[in-house]
Structure 1
Amino acid sequence: MNGHSFIEVRTIAQKKNNEKYEAILNAAVKVIGQAGYHNAPISKIAREAGVADGTVYLYFKNKEDILISILRETIGTIVDRIHDELQLGDGDAAESLKGLITIYFGIFGVNPDLAMFTQVHLRQSNAEMRKQIGDIIRPYYQIIDEVILKGIESGVFRESMDKRIARRMIFGTMDETVTAWILTGAKYSLESQVQPVYDVMVGGLRA
């Protein structure tokens, strides 16, 4: 690794420990979630965060960089909680699956602005951003793959299933459930959907 790359990595790490970095991300979630991507200029995000416009550019290259950073932090939080709270290597695969659903719905269920941001506004991104989004979500896909494989090896899930289709079904069902919840005004508890979604999923996966 050359000196330039090392400085960039260290700088990013330092930024993430800064209160202003977090304040800008939280402000962007709120402003974009409520006003929409195209109605959320940097100046409005800065005002919500309580910082000067120029301060935002000390942490982010542009608004697209803010979007990607929010998704990276969100997926990172989900993955960290899964590793902290679930025994992926030792527990029952079906219970691990339920844990994935519970954590996913729990994080979005307490933050409708974040749900609106990820489920609606983030999807207005361009092709280059969509590739970055795919790279960011990959660690979560890998966890789903791990649960599926463990279920097959333990005889809990059907060995004949197509694992890629199973992963798409699991993530797609959770994703669509959050989307339906936020687009209908978040009028009910998202966590109340854990059991019915789990029942549908595990019914299709069980051996």
Structure 2
Amino acid sequence: MGKKRGQKYEAIIDAAVKVIAANGYHHSQVSKIAKEASVADGTIYLYFKNKEDILISLFEEKMGQFVQKSKEKLDKEVSIEKKLFMLIEMHLMQLEEDHNLAIVTQLELRQSNKQLRNKINEVLRDYLGLIDSILVDGVKEGVFPASLNARFARQVIFGAIDEVVTNWVMKEHKYELVPLAKPLHDMLLNGLKK
């Protein structure tokens, strides 16, 4: 059985992003999330099992929306180089537009709990699939060499984007993130083509 959806569900997800970004995951009581969402504490449990379920669900929702939007845009583009740039730019743009989400994804989702990490990795699978498809098509079209280790290349691409965003969050958003898409793209593309 799937999760209940609707306005309250969305309100709880959005409230959780704000509360967790402001207080940290461990100091974000369900009651604070409920208050921010303007719902009764008990209402949270109609939609989520516990606080961990809220964290995973908000990542599933936000990442799912991002992957869907990215896939739609990437499917319209032919150039492998432009697809890679678009993916990087959209990733940076989404997080620059939502500082709270950036804090949650870059800091609070990095929990030491192995079960939580495994669930997050499951959610990331579709996003990593977008990178894989760019790499596979790039090899087929001769943009990247046939000898390219796609798995390693995916890790490098994701790791580079992730580190750029984490550094931006750690520096408290003191500069614009999206303008970094071009130099990051150029560096990754030059490395992939060799």
Query: What TM bracket, shorter-length normalisation?
Result: over 0.9
TM-score with structure 2 setting the length: 0.96
In structure 1, how many angstroms separate the alpha carbons of the residues matched to 2:31 and 2:86? 39
- The answer for the alignment partner of 1:145 in structure 2 is 132
Q: Name the counterpart of 2:93.
A: 106
Instruction: Give runs of aligned pairs for residues 114-133 of structure 1, distance below 5 A.
Output: 114-133=101-120
The letter of the residue matching 1:84 is E
Give the aligned residue type for 1:175: D
One-letter amino acid of the structure 1 residue matched with residue 16 of structure 2: A
Provide the residue aligned with 1:42 in structure 2: 30
Cα displacement string for residues 25-64 of structure 1 (whole angstroms, at most 9, x for unaligned residues): 1111001011111111001111111111001111000000
What is the Cα deviation at residue 159 of structure 1? 1.8
Distance in 1, matches of 2:75 and 2:8, equals 34
| Distance in structure 2 (CA, Å) of the matches to 1:150 and 1:134 | 24
Shift of 1:125: 4.6
Amino acid at match of 1:96: K
- 1:188 to 2:189 alignment: no
The answer for the alignment partner of 1:24 in structure 2 is 12
In structure 2, C-alpha distance between the alignment counterparts of 1:122 and 1:83, rounded to whole Å:
24
Percent pairwise identity: 43
1:32 aligned counterpart, secondary structure: helix
Counterparts of 2:158 and 2:149, CA distance in 1: 15
Q: 2:39 aligns to what SS in structure 1? A: coil
Determine if contact 1:33/1:117 at 8 Å carries over to the other structure: yes
Counterpart for residue 172 of structure 1: 159
4+ aligned runs moved over 6 Å, structure 1: none
Residues paired across the two proteins, number: 194
1:87 equivalenced with 2:75 (yes/no)? yes
2:64 to 76, 81, 93: 76
In the superposition, the TM-score normalised over structure 1's length comes to 0.90
2:45 aligned residue: 57
Offset at 1:206?
Answer: 1.6
**Would the aligned equivalents of 2:63 and 2:124 in 1 still touch at CA under 8 Å?**
yes
Q: Is the 8 A contact 2:111 2:117 kept in 1?
A: no
Structure 1: 5+ residue stretches without partners: 1-7
Deviation at 1:157, TM superposition (A): 1.1
Unpaired runs of 5+ in structure 2?
none
